[in-house]
Amino acid sequence: MRIGPFYFDSKEVFLIIAVALLAAALYFNIQLIFFEPQALLTLAIIFLILKGLLPSTHNEAFFIHALVTVFLTMFLPLFQVILFYAVTFVFFKMLRVI
């Protein structure tokens, strides 16, 4: 999808839609089962920022990394989840996984 000078991959469009839906859930005070909407919105914004740093060849590693991080929000506080995400992202870069 091309919007002006920007090209968005299907995964980026999905993340933008997810951020919009999570923002709407927070605005209308909709409860999400098992998840805290504020934590998911924060993670989705972080995913959008880091998705821009990855080349498109590493979509599978990014997806698995993001999926594990989202499921960790059910069990751990947000700070620990963000710390996990940042540390594993650094390790992935150091070990040249992504």
What pLDDT digit, counting tens, does each position of 1-17 carry?
A: 777 777 777 777 888 89
* SS3 at position 25: helix
Q: Can you give the pTM of this predicted structure?
A: 0.76
φ/ψ of residue 3, rounded to 5: -120, 105
Residue type, 35: F
The neighbouring-strand residues paired with 6 are 3
User: Residue 97 corresponds to which tokens in the numbers above?
Assistant: 């996984």
For residues 21-35, give the mean pLDDT: 88
Gap between the Cα atoms of 25 and 30, Å rounded? 5
Among 11, 25, 17, CA closest to 54: 11
pLDDT of residue 83: 93
pLDDT of residue 27: 93
Show the domain range for 66: 2-94
> Per-residue pLDDT for 80 more than 90?
yes
Number of domains in the chain: 1
| Residues 35-70 pLDDT 10s | 888 888 888 888 888 877 776 666 788 888 888 988
